[in-house]
Amino acid sequence: MNGTVSFKTPNGDEMVVITLSEYETLLKLAERLEDFEDGLAIKAFEERLARGEEEFISAEFVNRMIDGESPIRVWRDVRGLSAKDLAAAAGISATYLSEIESRKKEGSISSLKKIARALKVDLDDLVAWGDDDADARAGT
């Protein structure tokens, strides 16, 4: 006999009572499954990395974005591009790029997509660090 008892509550929910030993076994199995899933995720990431679909960037660049610096400026530095070169690659003026980087202008979705394409990043990589994040960090 495994010591498992099942019953229904007055509102119809099915409940199970198991021994502490069975509960601890289930916890261990759940942890092993989580470790296995993590391993699969790491392997998938490593495969994407090997195919050039993923990349690492240094903590220096990530910290600059966390500290509120324009992600476009940071990614431009990661890619080793001047503002003039990025603007040309994106098909926008260097002045407009400067205004977007300095947050004087938000930049149109079309322009941000062109910039993301030129930087070889997802649009989310450029806008996920927007003013809302800065406001949240400042507590406003």
Across the range 27-32, mean pLDDT stands at 97
Q: How confident is the model at residue 101 (pLDDT cuts 50, 70, 90)?
A: very high
Verify that 76 and 119 share a domain, yes or no. yes
96 domain residue, yes or no: yes
Verify that 41 and 81 share a domain, yes or no. no
pTM above 0.75, yes or no: no
Verify that 74 and 128 share a domain, yes or no. yes
Across the range 66-81, mean pLDDT stands at 94
Q: Is the pLDDT of residue 64 over 70?
A: yes
Verify that 93 and 43 share a domain, yes or no. no
Verify that 63 and 48 share a domain, yes or no. no
Name the strand (E) or helix (H) holding 6. strand 5-8
CA–CA distance, 140 with 133 (Å, rounded to integer):
10
Name the residue range of residue 130's domain: 59-138
> What pLDDT is recorded for position 78?
95
Verify that 66 and 128 share a domain, yes or no. yes
Q: How confident is the model at residue 72 (pLDDT cuts 50, 70, 90)?
A: very high
